[in-house]
Structure 1
């Protein structure tokens, strides 16, 4: 079971989600999307909360409103963190999550600590938490199938870009050849290499005069 929430409208069209337990957290870790940003209460147990950004976006594109929604949801879903004020919530791209065989179910580390950011949450804001809970929807997704579909779409898009690139390169090549042929033709048409009609007529006249003289 995965719980899905809608961020506040002014934050944009974003979906926030979290697993029911550590086993579903494990699935989210395994089959995440590159656009997913992971949130967790620092140094305390809590739900693994994600927000799926739009394609091409990064940590720098997360607005204050969206960040606050995610942080409040994480705090509200931490047994210990929900009871105290001034906690830290860490967040990082899904691709930065590190999983090794020695880690417990649902436990993660980071590939690069420099890609981990922290936001301070002074206290729980019930208005935000209640608003998010009113949008909550429960689903049982097929994580593997969703990830495979995403990968297939990415592969098809890369192929389409490659075909378009090759098409443009071929058009550029043909245009360069056309321009080179045009320049070559113009060189053949240079005036001092051409014979005018007047010159031809003059030449014919001279030949006729020579013939008459011969006769």
Structure 2
């Protein structure tokens, strides 16, 4: 089971989601999207909350309002963190999550600690948490199939870009050949080297003499 929420409408169309338990968290870790950003209460047990950004965005593009929504949702879904004030919430891109065979189910580390950021949540804001809970939708998605569908779409897009690139290169090649042929043709048609019928008629030379000149 995965729970889906909608961030504040004035920030744009952003989806926030989290797993029911550590087993769903494990699936979310495994089959995340490049646009996903992971949130967790620092040094405490909490839900693994994800924000799905728009394609092409990075976690530098998260607005202050959406960041607050995610942080409040994480705090509210931490048994210990929900009871205390001044809680730190860490967040990082999904691609920075590190999973090793020795880790427990749902446990993660980081590839690069410099890509992990921290936001301080002074206290729970019920207005934000209640607004998010009103948008809550429960689903049982096939996370693997969703990820494979995205991979297939990305492969198709790359192939299309490659075909377009080859087509542009072929057009450029043909145009260069045409330009080269035009330059070669113009070189043969230099005015100073051309003889018109009028020039031949006024030269008073015999046909044999003209043929000798040509040879």
TM-score, with normalisation over the residues of structure 2?
0.94
The equivalent residue for 2:104 is: 104
3-state DSSP of counterpart to 2:205: helix
Aligned residue-pair number: 208
Q: CA deviation at 1:161?
A: 0.7
The question of 1:207 aligning with 2:196 is answered no
Correspondence list, 1:78-89, <5 A: 78-89=78-89
Q: CA deviation at 1:196?
A: 2.2
Moved over 4 A (4+): none
The equivalent residue for 1:152 is: 152
Distance 1:120 1:193 in 2: 84
Q: CA deviation at 1:202?
A: 1.3
Correspondence list, 1:1-215, <5 A: 1-203=1-203, 205-207=204-206
Q: CA deviation at 1:207?
A: 2.6
Distance 1:206 1:158 in 2: 70
Q: CA deviation at 1:206?
A: 3.5
Q: Which runs of 5+ in 1 are unaligned?
A: 211-215
The equivalent residue for 2:212 is: none
Q: Which runs of 5+ in 2 are unaligned?
A: 210-215
Moved more, 177-186 or 129-138: 177-186
Distance 1:29 1:145 in 2: 14
3-state DSSP of counterpart to 1:118: strand
Distance 2:186 2:125 in 1: 78
Q: Spell out, residue by residue over 1:4-53, the C-alpha distance to the aligned partner (whole angstroms, 9 max, x if none).
A: 00011111101000000000000000111111000000000000000111
The equivalent residue for 1:213 is: none
Q: CA deviation at 1:55?
A: 0.8
3-state DSSP of counterpart to 1:3: strand
3-state DSSP of counterpart to 2:69: helix
Q: Spell out, residue by residue over 1:86-133, the C-alpha distance to the aligned partner (whole angstroms, 9 max, x if none).
A: 111110111110000110110000001011111111111111000000
TM-score, with normalisation over the residues of structure 1?
0.94
Q: CA deviation at 1:198?
A: 2.1
Q: What is the Cα-based RMSD across aligned positions, in Å?
A: 1.2
3-state DSSP of counterpart to 1:103: coil
Distance 1:183 1:80 in 2: 79
Distance 2:197 2:107 in 1: 92
